Chain A
Amino acid sequence: MSFDPTAFVCVEALVKGQVVVGPGCVVQPAAQITADDGCTIVFGSGNIVSERAVIRAVAPESPSQSQSQSQSQSQSYSSSGNVTVTVGAGNIFEPDCRVEAVSIGSGNIFGAKCVVQRGCRVGSGNYFAPGTLVTQARLDAAAAASPDGASVHNATSQPGRSPAAVIARAVEQQLGEAASSTSASSTLQAASRPMSRVPKPSSVAKQGQGNAQGSGNTLAAAPISQAVVDAMRPLETLQQPFLASQLPLFLHPQLSSM
């Protein structure tokens, strides 16, 4: 066990086993950094391990057990007895998270009470929302969606219900419906479309599917942030004629001023 002279490891923290704490790290009281026998944890610089966070390097189980669990375990476990968990620089482990990953990159934020499954390889620049269960499958899916840093949200609730997912789905529906019903340059047609009908997700989804190829580029061109800004604007101020790409996300059924 070696602590860099510039690191702060509180007296009340539990650091057990072969742990190398890098420069400028902060290990707060009641944090637990445990390396099982034969395992090593190496921290980079500037990590913050909050109270009651558990970072553990778990020794691989006996061969008979690992055979039965080989499907569920990720293949990053080597057959040798030594596991070295490398943690990059500048990660923040918020209170009560449980991290048993094999390798962690830099600049991640592990939210409070998130659980990172044994054997995961966490990249860099990720944000794990509080209470999430992070498995290797979710990490790969998130990394495929956004290579430069992913957000993993909400393991306990339905995956489609996170605010970002809801907004993304609504934007896709609106753009799909607008592309199918009007031409993009005809604002009068967009204005005269009956506003009292709230588009049903199932019917619009089919239209959206047909236009997904065509409006896929539109979806990328109209940034989500602009749609979020439009959603945040109160409906009363949408007085000017708008383009199809700027439709409000949720059409109020009583919007009769258009």
Chain B
Amino acid sequence: MELPIERYDKGTYIETNTKNKISRHSTVCGTQNIVLGGKNCVNRQSIVHAECVIRGDLKHIQVGKYCILSKRSVIRPPHRLYKGEVVFFKLEMEDYVVIGEDSVVAAAKIGSYVQIGKNCVIGARCILKDCCRILDNTVLPPDTVVPPFAVFGGNPGTLVDQLPESAKLLHQELAQTLAANFVPQ
């Protein structure tokens, strides 16, 4: 199934010299704490779509390359109650992660080649290992650990399926295609 080419108005997106695209209508807080597109990568190609909210002001957020943060998603660092105080800690997201529209992500660590569906709630301090998939409308309770190649769905999110090893290539291709199909008008 061919993914459609999505054209955007060039003025509404900022394109960095490392080829990240960040919507001007997104709310990116604490830009000095955000690493978008991996650290040592020339061609990073991560996309932050419109009305996405990234809370870098709470704690560091590290996003890998070819990550697609879709519209109206909320990326916030996870928090923990430590000695009676709310403490935020780093959100690490690796490469080729696709986060669907309207999702709320407060995970601690998201591995590579992960696909998160639309309208999901990833609870605080969740750990999503490589190549896993979160279906649409899933609610993952806090501290959930999603194993590699697992498919989680439902509310509360439970294991519903397992993916074959080819899921790594499929998820990588999806992220790369979404990034490549996002072209200016």
Contact = CB atoms under 8 A, between A and B. Distances in A.
Interface in B110-140: 119, 121, 123, 137, 139
A157 interface: yes
A12 interface: yes
B139 A130 contact: yes
B154 interface: yes
A30 B154 contact: no
Contacts, number: 61
Contacts of B123: 112, 130
A58 B123 CA distance: 30
A12 B154 contact: no
A162 B139 CA distance: 12
B27 A113 contact: no
A131 B155 contact: yes
Given A51-B76, A130-B121, A157 B55 contact: no
Given A12-B29, A29-B53, A113-B104, A52 B72 contact: yes
Contact of A51 (B53, B102, B121, B156): B53
Classify the interface of chain B: helix, strand, loop or mixed.
loop
Contact of A131 (B27, B76, B139): B139
A156 interface: yes
A111 B155 CA distance: 13
Interface residues of A, number: 22
Contacts of B137: 131, 156
B178 interface: no
A240 B121 CA distance: 43
B79 to A, nearest CB: 11
Interface residues on B, range: 10 to 19
A234 interface: no
B63 interface: no
Nearest to A96: B104
A130 B55 CA distance: 20
A32 to B, nearest CB: 11
A23 to B, nearest CB: 19
Interface in A109-123: 111-113
Interface string B49-84: 001010100000000000000001010100000000
Given A51-B74, A112-B106, A156-B137, 11 more contacts: A52-B53, A52-B74, A112-B139, A113-B104, A113-B121, A130-B104, A131-B137, A131-B155, A154-B156, A157-B155, A162-B156
